[in-house]
Structure 1
Amino acid sequence: MKQSDIFRDNAENCLQLAERAEGQPAYKRYSRMADAWTALAREQDWLDGEIPPVTVRIPQNQEA
């Protein structure tokens, strides 16, 4: 199993915990943890060369 898949599993676990959370603070905490695990998974995919780096769009010169 890839490291990014493990991170995604952790994110899914956090989302499940958020659904069962009692109270808004716990729900928000687990949701933020899920977001962080998802971000780590995307970064790991990038580090593993599975997704390209972010492309920067350069505006074209427009002549009037």
Structure 2
Amino acid sequence: MKQSDIFRDNADNCLQLAERAEGQPTHKRYSRMADAWTALAHEQDWLDGEVPPVARRFPQQREA
């Protein structure tokens, strides 16, 4: 199993915990943890060369 898949499994677990959370603060905490695990999975995919780096586009300056 790839490292990014393990991270996605962790994110899924956090989402399940968020659904069962009894209070709003706990729900938000697990939701944020799921977002963080998902971000780590995307980063790991990039590190493994499975997704290309994101091209940054900067606005071109016009000459006056």
Which residue is 1:5 aligned to?
5
Which residue is 1:55 aligned to?
55
Which residue is 2:42 aligned to?
42
Percent of paired sites with the same residue: 84
Unaligned runs of 5+ in 1: none
Unaligned runs of 5+ in 2: none
Query: Shift of residue 56 of structure 1?
Result: 1.9
| Structure 1 residues 16 and 59: CA distance shift in structure 2, 3 A | same
Moved over 3 A (4+): 58-62
| Structure 1 residues 61 and 29: CA distance shift in structure 2, 3 A | closer
Residues 2-59 of structure 1 deviation map (CA, whole Å, 9 limit, x = unaligned): 0000000000000000000000010000000000000000000000000001112255
Q: How far apart in 2 are the matches of 1:44 and 1:11?
A: 14
* Aligned positions, number: 64
Segment drifting more, 2-11 vs 53-62: 53-62
